[in-house]
Amino acid sequence: MSITVLLLITGLGLGALYFLVASGLSLIYGLMGVLNFAHGAFLTLGAFIGFEVSRAVGATTWPGFAVAVVLGALAGAAIAALSELLLIRPLYQRHIEQVLVTVGLGLVTVALYEGIWGTDPIFISGPAWLDRTTSVLGANVPNDRFLAIGAAVAVLVGLVLFLKHTRYGLVIRAGVENRAMVTALGIDVRRSFTLVFTIGGAAAGLGGVLASQYFGYVSAHLGGTLLIFAFIVTVIGGLGSLTGAALAAVLVAVPQQFANYYLGIGDLIAVLALALVLLVRPSGLMGAKAA
């Protein structure tokens, strides 16, 4: 029983990380038709900035950790916004080239991170509470799981509220459905491109700081590893659907944890799930709509 609870909550924590990456991927794809291969790099930058901040201000205290989280998210947002403005925008409407450019950006950034922070993982620690465990139904669950889950839920709720109740959210939802018609209503849809990149980058940066707590280290390849699973989650959830991504994140991560524990083949489960979903429903669980 206790092991089931532990695996379940750990799986949810992993799913939370997947969602933090996949939410941005999904929105970006839904609105712009661009699969962003640089998204992992946004996450990794968030993780490294979080790490640097903790070194500088001492992230073993809660205020220090909070600063690390905020700056990590801001770093993710900043690099994402710059990428959109400098690399994606000049290739407006040329989707293949846009994807290629994000592939290139992914290569460049990872190489740069390796140059700056080295190739080996750097082990880190946060506030003492995160390293402790909480007993849930007899299972000793590491606290960082709860933090990841809480953050992902907050991001999901925040994004849904944003999409439902703001003018920008309205434009994004409409753009996911029919971008050309949005421009034909006199709206400069490119501004929302930058916006979704920024939002997605912020979520990824936040995910980076939390992922480094979850795994206990930062490395230049942190984002790349998560990105592949986030892709799977995005496709299973239905490209462009936020709630689909949330659902799929859980559906991928939890079985993955169980399969890893009992069979040692968790990663294969995720792939099988993808094949299965695409065979049964080629458009993913939720099709394309923003919320």
Partner 1 sequence: MNTPTSTPTGAADPATTSDARPEAVRADDGAPGGAGATGPTAGRTGLRARLAAPPARARGAAPWVGAAVTAVVLAVLPLLDLRVPGVLPGPTYTPGTLHLLALCLLYGALALSYHLLYGVAGMLSFGHALYFAAGAYGLAVVLQRTDLPLLTGAALVLVGAVVLANLVGAISLRVTGVSFAMVTLAFAQAGNVVARRNIGGWSGGEEGVGLRTANVPDWLVGVADTRNVYWLALAVLAGVYVVVTWFQRSRAGHVVEATRENELRVRVIGQQPYLIRLLTFAVAGALAAVVGMAYLLLQSQAVPTISSADLTITLLVMVVLGGVGSRWGAVVGAVLYTLLDQRLSVFASSDLVQGLPAVLHVPLSEPLFTLGTLFVLVVLFMPGGLAGAAARLRQGRRRR
Partner 2 sequence: MSAVLQVEHLSASIGGQQVVEDVSFSVPATGVTAVLGRNGVGKTSTIKAILGLVERSGTVLLDGEPIDREPTHRIVQRGVGYVPEDREVFTALTVEENLRLAVRDREPRRELVEALFPDLVRRSAQRAGTLSGGQQQMLSMARALLNRNRLLLVDEPTKGLAPKIVTELATALQEAARTVPVLLVEQNLQVIEQLAQDVVVIDGGRVVHTGPAAELLGDEAAVRRYLGVHAEQPPTARRSDDDAPGAQPPTARAAEEARP
* Interacting partner of 116 out of partner 2, partner 1, none (Cβ under 5 to 8 A depending on kind): partner 1
Contact status: 159 vs partner 2 (CB under 8 A): no
In whole angstroms, the minimum distance from the beta carbon of 201 to partner 2 comes to: 24
What's the chain look like in SS3?
Answer: CHHHHHHHHHHHHHHHHHHHHHHHHHHHHHHHCCCCCCHHHHHHHHHHHHHHHHHHHCCCCHHHHHHHHHHHHHHHHHHHHHHHHHHHHHHCCCHHHHHHHHHHHHHHHHHHHHHHHCCCCEECCCCHHHHCEEEECCEEEEHHHHHHHHHHHHHHHHHHHHHHHCHHHHHHHHHHHCHHHHHCCCCCHHHHHHHHHHHHHHHHHHHHHHHHHHHCEECCCHHHHHHHHHHHHHHHHCCCCHHHHHHHHHHHHHHHHHHHHHCCCHHHHHHHHHHHHHHHCCCCCCCCCCC
Contact status: 186 vs partner 2 (CB under 8 A): yes
Contact status: 195 vs partner 2 (CB under 8 A): no
Considering only 96, 180, 275, 280, the residue that binds partner 2 (CB under 8 A) is 180
Looking at beta carbons only, is 83 or 241 nearer to partner 2? 241
Considering only 160, 170, 228, 271, the residue that binds partner 2 (CB under 8 A) is 170
Residues contributing to the site for partner 1 (CB under 8 A): 29, 35, 37, 87, 90-91, 94, 96-97, 99-101, 103-108, 110-112, 114-116, 228, 231-232, 234-235, 239, 264-265, 267-268, 270-271, 274-275, 278-279, 282
- What is the binding site for partner 2 (CB under 8 A)? 170-171, 173-174, 176-178, 180-189, 289-290
